Amino acid sequence: MPKKESILIASLKLIVQKGLHAVTMAEIAKEAKVGIGTIYKHFKDKEDIVQQLWIFQKQDESEFIFKDYIVEGIVKERFWFLWEKVIQYFISHHDEYYFSYHFAASPILTKEIHNIAMKDFLAFDVMFEEGLKEGLFKENMSARHLRLYTFSTINGWILWSFDQKIDFTDEKIDQFITMAWDAIKG
């Protein structure tokens, strides 16, 4: 594994466990099995690590979610496919979930970083735009609003399920996707 990737993976683990401000560069170096100088060869500071980690994590998430995604077709089926993949990704990637949950609105992540990291996720907006044109969703809502509402709803359910140690059965996942769809359908 490349050293930069080792540093990012070690940083993810430690930031989720301890919080960004409690983690030292020395701890990251030890966890990544690299020297501190190697960290500074790849990153300016911890903020740079978080920014690069956000891009790295979102790329991994995107590859998982959009694998086998068909851009055309019935909007409701695409909605189910995408949100089920989001849930599956976070169920199997707890650290990535908690990192994403804590840093999505962080001022550390500039608009430029978000634009780089989130470019693939605009496919959700395309799907929502098509649904809006077909009259499937509530009126006077933008695709972005629909995406953010649905993500926030599902994100909250995932957090609640993790905290309450509720099993993610296929039936539960389907129930929550149904509830998300029902909340925004026209």
Residues 15 and 72 in one domain: no
- Measured between alpha carbons, how far is 16 from 100 in angstroms, rounded to an integer? 10
Residues 21 and 73 in one domain: no
Same domain? 66 vs 13: no
**Helices of type H across the chain:** 3-18, 25-32, 36-42, 46-66, 75-92, 94-103, 111-118, 122-133, 143-164, 170-184
pLDDT band at 54 (very low <50, low <70, confident <90, very high): very high
pLDDT one-digit tens code per residue, 82-135: 999 999 999 999 999 999 999 999 999 999 999 999 999 999 999 999 999 999
Are 86 and 65 contacting, i.e. CB atoms less than 8 angstroms apart?
yes
**The domain that contains 35 carries what CATH number?**
1.10.10.60
Return the pLDDT at 1: 84
Amino acid identity for residue 112 in this structure: E
Alpha-carbon span 142 to 104, nearest angstrom: 20
Residues 12 and 103 placed together within one structural domain of the fold: no
Residue 16 sits in the same domain as residue 99: no
Percent of the chain's residues with pLDDT above 90: 99
Same domain, 126 and 83: yes
The domain that holds 88 is classified in CATH as 1.10.357.10
Domain count, the chain: 2
What is the span of the domain harbouring residue 122? 46-184
